[in-house]
Amino acid sequence: TVETAYVNRGFVENDLREPQQAESDFEIALKSDPKDGQAHLGLAFASLALNHSGEAVRQSELAQQYLGDSGTVHVIRATAYGREGLLAKAADEYKAAIRFTPDDGSLYLALGNVYFGQQQYRQALEQLNTAKKYLPDDAQVYAQLARSYAALQEKQPAMENVQLAERYAAKTPTEANAESYTQSDIYVDTGEALDTLGYQNAAMQRFTWALTAPKSDRVAVRLAIAQLMAQQGHAQEAERQIALAQMEAEAGATEPPTGDEYLEASNILEQLHEYQLSESYLQKAQAAGASDIDVRVDLANDYLALGDTTRAAAELAAVSQADGSRSDYSYLLAEANVYEQQNKGAKALSAFAEAASASGEDQTAEQQLLQTGANEGYRITPQISVLSNLMQEPIFEDSTVYVLDSKTFGHPPPYQGNTIDTALLPLPRYSIETDWTDAFHLHFGPAPTTGGFFQIRNARGLISVPAIGVVDRDTTDYNFNFGVAPAVRIGSSVITFNSGMQGTVRRDSLSPREMNQNIGRVYTFVSTSSFLDAVSATGYFIHDFGPFTEIPLNESTLAGAVDFRVGAPWSKTALITGWGANDQHFNSKTLGNTENYYTSSYVGLTRRFSTHLNIEGIAEDLRAWRVVPYAIVGSGTGTGSSTVTYSGIAQALRPAGTVDYSPTRNWDVQFQGAYEDTRSFHLYDMTQNGVVLSYTRPFGRTFNDETGEVHLKYPIRFSAGLQEETFPNFTHGRTQEFRPYVSINIF
C-alpha cells in the first residue's frame, strides 16, 4: 500500500529495461495518487520504451502539470515525436530541452539528427558543430557531420569527418557512449556519406567492415548494402540483401529488425518498383512499432506509384485524422502528388508549395512545384490562374508537300514523259511564325477544370495551300478558345480529357483573297495514365470548318492521332509508337473540290540514361495524296467549269532523333535531327536539324488560399536556338536555310 515504493521500483525497472513491469507499478501508484508527478514521469519513460509514443507524450504533459516544466519532459516528447515522424514537433521539444541544459551535447546531437531527417542540412551542421564542443570524442557526432556535409556535396569537410568518425570509433568506447552506438553503426554512417559523395567502392568497403565489427547490427548493414545496390540498378542483389537481413535475424545472428528498419526495407523495394512486396514490409513495420504516420505515408506513395489515387488519399486522410500536423515533408509531398493525380492543379500547386517550404535542401518538391506552376499558371485568385507565352520559330514543310505541289500545281506540269524539268519544280521555302498566347484556368468547387486562351498568331513567308497553290503571305490569326478538362477513373487508371471549341479570324495583308478565312474548331485531347503498368496513351481528334471570305470556298478538315508508350512508367527504356492522319476537303460549287490527305505512322525507342540525359529515336513513314481541280490549278481566277483534275501521291521515310540534356536544374539543351528520304523522288530529300538552349528562372510570390499563406513558385523559361533545313539533291534556288528560334514562357 506504499505508493512511493511502487514509484521507486518502477524507476528501477526502467533502468533494468523492464518497461512492462515498470508500467504496471506506475499505474498502481497512480491509482493511489493520480496527481503523483513522479509516477507520470516514470510512466512516460516506460511508455517510450514500449514504443507507445502517444501515451508517452500524454504522461509527460501530466508530469509537467504536477512537477513543473523541466528538460526531461521535453526530451521525452521530442523522442516520441521523432518516432512518430513528426520531426518539426521533435525539433521544437529539443530546443526547449536545451534551454534547461545548454551544455548537454547529446541534445544538440539529437537536434542535428532531426534537422538532417528534415533535409535541413545547414541547420543540422550548426547543431552538430555545437555538439562537437561538448562531445569531442563522440564518433556519432563526426559521422553525422560527414553525412550532412556529403548531402551538401562539400567533399573536403565530409571526408575529414569520415576519418575522424572512424578514428574515434576504433577507440574503446567510454561508459557514456558504450550503449549509444557500436563501431558497426559508425561504419554504416560513413559508408552512406561516401555513397552520397559518389564513392561507391569506398562505401561498400565500410559496409563490409560493419558486417564483421563487434556487436554488428547486421540488419542495418544489409539494408545499407541493399540501398547501394538499388542505386546501381542491381535489383536482384538488393532484394537478396533484404532477404539475408531477414534470415539472419530469424536465425538469431542479429537483433530482429526494428520498425524503422522494416520501413527502410520497404522504401528500397519501392525504389525497385516491387510495390506489393513493399506493402508487406510496411505491415511488418507497423507490427514492429514503426510510426503509424510513416507507415501510412509510405503506403500512400506505393498506391500513388500504382496509380491507385483513391487508396492513397484514404491513407493520408487517416494520417490527418490521427494528428493535426501538416508540417512534415513526406506527408505534404504525398498529398501534393495525390492532388496532381486527381487533376486538381490548383490544390496540387499549393500542396507542393507547402512541401517545398518544409523540404530543407531537398529539391524534389521544388522541382515538382515549378512543373505544376508551369501547367497551372499564375494564381490571381483561388479560382483563376493565368499563363502567357511568346514564341517565334520557322515553319519548314515536309518533303511530301513539295512532291504533291510539283504534281498538282505545276503549269505546265514539270513531267515530260519520263523526265522532270527541275526548273519548273517548286523551290524550297519557309515561313516565320510568331505567337503570343494568353491562357487561363478556372476552378469552381468539384466541377472539372475549365480554361481557354486568346492567341495572336502571325506567319510570314511562302506556304502551300492545297486548294490554292503556293502563296506569299503575311497572315494574322486571332484565336479564341474555351474548353473543359474532366478526368475519368477506370480501376486504378485515369483518362483525362481536354475538350472544347475554338474560333479563328484569319486575315492576310499580302494575299487576302487566298488566305482570309473564318474557322471554327471542335476538339478533344485525351491522355491516360499507365494501364497495367505497361502502356499509356495520348491522342486527339479535331474538326476544323469554315469559309474563305473572298472566294466561294469552304474548308472542312478532320484530323486525329494516337500515340502509345509501351513500358512501365518507371522504366528507363520504352517503346514509342503512334499513328495520325489529316484529311482536308475544300469544297466549292464554282471552283471545284479539292482533297488533301496526309498520314504518318512511327515507331521508336526512348531511353532515360539519368535524370540529366534522355535520348529518343524514331523511324516515321509519311504518306500523302492530293486531288486538285484544273480550274484552281490554272490562273486561280475561278472562271470556267472544267472537270479536269491533277492528282498526286507522295511518300517519305523519316528517321529522327532527339537528345535532351539538363546539366543543372536551370539549364537544358536539346538537339534534334531528322532526314527525309522521299521515295522515288529524291530531289526533295532533306535534312532538318536544330539546337535549343533553355534557361529556367523561378519566380516566387506569396498567396493565401484555403490552407493559409503559401509561397508559390513559377518557372519563367527563356529558350533560344537555331533550326536548319537542307536539300542536298536540289539544284535551284536556296537549298539551305538557317533560322532562329526564340520562346519566352511566363508563369
pLDDT of the residue at 633: 42
Give mean pLDDT, residues 23-42. 92
**Strand-pair partners of 736:** 726
Give tens-digit pLDDT for 560-605. 999 999 998 888 899 999 999 999 999 988 878 899 999 999 999 9
Among the listed ranges 30-34, 168-172, 703-707, which one has the minimum average pLDDT value? 703-707
The radius of gyration computed from the CA coordinates of the chain, to the nearest angstrom, equals 34
Contact residues for 725 (Cβ-Cβ < 8 A; gap 6+): 394, 396, 428, 430, 686, 687, 688, 736, 737
pLDDT of the residue at 324: 56
Q: Does the pLDDT of residue 232 top 90, yes or no?
A: no
pTM of the model: 0.81
**Strand-pair partners of 391:** 435, 743
Give mean pLDDT, residues 469-482. 95
pLDDT tier for residue 413 given thresholds of 50, 70 and 90: low
Q: Report strand pairing: 487-490 vs 469-485.
A: unpaired
Q: Which of 688, 689, 686, 690 is nearest to 676 (CA)?
A: 686
Give tens-digit pLDDT for 662-696. 998 889 999 999 999 998 888 899 999 999 999 99
pLDDT of the residue at 327: 62
Question: Exposure pattern of 59-94 as b/e (b: 16+ CB <10 Å)?
Answer: bbebbbeeeeebbbbbbbbbbbbbbbbbbebbbbbb
pLDDT of the residue at 173: 58
pLDDT tier for residue 637 given thresholds of 50, 70 and 90: very low
Give mean pLDDT, residues 251-270. 90
Q: Does the pLDDT of residue 544 top 80, yes or no?
A: yes
pLDDT of the residue at 175: 46
Q: CA 556, CA 325: separation in Å to the nearest integer?
A: 57
Give tens-digit pLDDT for 302-361. 998 888 888 898 998 887 655 555 567 888 899 999 988 888 888 888 888 888 888 777
One-letter identity of residue 692: V
**Strand-pair partners of 545:** 520, 556
Q: CA 88, CA 75: separation in Å to the nearest integer?
A: 14
Give tens-digit pLDDT for 374-390. 888 888 888 889 999 99
The phi, psi pair for 501, rounded to 5°, reads -130, 155
Mean pLDDT of the chain: 89
Q: CA 708, CA 77: separation in Å to the nearest integer?
A: 27
- The grid cell for 114 is 532531426
Would you call 424 exposed, middle or buried from its count of C-beta atoms within 10 A (0-12, 13-18, 19+)? middle
